[in-house]
Amino acid sequence: MSDTPSPSRAAGRLSARPSAQPRELMTDAPDLAGVWTAQVITLFPQAFPGVLGESLTGRALKDGLWQLQPIDLRPYGEGRHRNVDDTPAGGGAGMVLRADIVGRAIEDAKARAKGVTPVIYLSPRGRRLDQPLARELAQADGVILLCGRFEGVDERVLEEHEVLEVSLGDFVLTGGEIAAQALIDATVRLIPRVLGNQASTEEESFSDGLLEHPQYTKPAVWKGRAIPEVLLSGHHAKITGWRREMAERLTKERRPDLWRAYRARHDADPDEDREL
Ligand code: SAH
């Protein structure tokens, strides 16, 4: 055996390495051709891969099933302190990331990107991240993610690059990094072979517009609570029926919005017309 690391190991190590010099990253990082790639523009590249380096997403990263290229925004900054932000036009609290500086980082990322690679700004004003969006992004060749900080980003850079804004939910985070990791996690697990058991993405929450049924495992009885008998019956059709009924009931109770959409879809199909 030679000392040369296997391509997958090299990819895992290098793809997770934050770069102090964006231009250096462009020449150094060996792009794995055809591999789904997340380029993440951030002031905190050391926050990556973070939790994405663990468990199934981490293994898939090491195995070269996807790659991660954090882009440090700081070196794009101006002056001795590499300033990236300034006070908001019109006054008010906080700082805003400058359009020219963020713009250059996006241009570099776009120049490096291959195929269909949407540019996304993680933002509380954005379209809510959901399973259909994760599925769409998994079909693309990768994403360029912009993580905001402070009061956010100069609007002009979002217009200029036709950036899609995506939100994690109706709350305000301190920065876009956690949201970026959530988006990458939800997307990467839909890439073939990332999850060991592909069937699990077909049955889980949202796969058919429903929340998932309850899950149980050993022991059969715990603190006087028994696993529902049907699950131990070995009768597969009955188990499937019970799971679907529970999924429908949970969705109806907890998420009337999802339930209405589900009914609207299934009411178009007379065979599916049943009332709980
Ligand atoms: N002043 C902004 C909030 C800035 S929070 C506003 O009121 O809309 C700082 C950064 O955190 C944002 O630029 C964004 O990148 C990130 N962020 C905050 N909340 C988020 C959310 N719900 N989803 C995704 N990103 C979020």
Provide the pLDDT confidence category of residue 270 given band limits of 50, 70 and 90.
low
Provide the pLDDT confidence category of residue 17 given band limits of 50, 70 and 90.
very low
Both tokens assigned to 181:
């990791």
**Mean pLDDT of the 65-71 span:** 98
223: Cβ below 6 Å to ligand 1? no
Tell me what pLDDT residue 10 has. Answer: 38
User: Does the pLDDT at position 75 exceed 70?
Assistant: yes
Q: Which atom of ligand 1 is nearest to the CA of 169?
A: 22
Instruction: Return the SS3 of 128.
Output: strand
**Mean pLDDT of the 153-181 span:** 98
Helices (H), 79-128: 99-112
Q: CA 232, CA 241: separation in Å to the nearest integer? A: 14
Q: Do 94 and 88 meet the contact criterion of CB atoms below 8 Å apart?
A: yes
Higher per-residue confidence, 26 vs 83:
83
- What domains appear along the chain, each with residue ranges and CATH number? 7-188 (3.40.1280.10), 208-265 (1.10.1270.20)
How far out from the chain centre does Cα 194 lie? 14
Q: Which atom of ligand 1 is nearest to the CA of 172?
A: 19
Instruction: Tell me the binding residues for S-adenosyl-L-methionine.
Output: 148, 168-173
Per the DSSP assignment, residues forming a β-bridge with 121 are 146, 165
Q: Give the pLDDT confidence of 120-145 residue by residue, as tens digits.
A: 999 999 999 999 999 999 999 999 99
Q: Picking from 80-89, 154-163, 266-275, which range would have the lowest pLDDT averaged per residue?
A: 266-275
Q: How far is CA 104 from CA 78, 107, 231, in A?
A: 12, 5, 56
Tell me what pLDDT residue 166 has. Answer: 98
User: Does the pLDDT at position 80 exceed 80?
Assistant: yes
**Mean pLDDT of the 5-26 span:** 41
209: Cβ below 6 Å to ligand 1? no
122: Cβ below 6 Å to ligand 1? yes
| Global confidence as pTM | 0.87
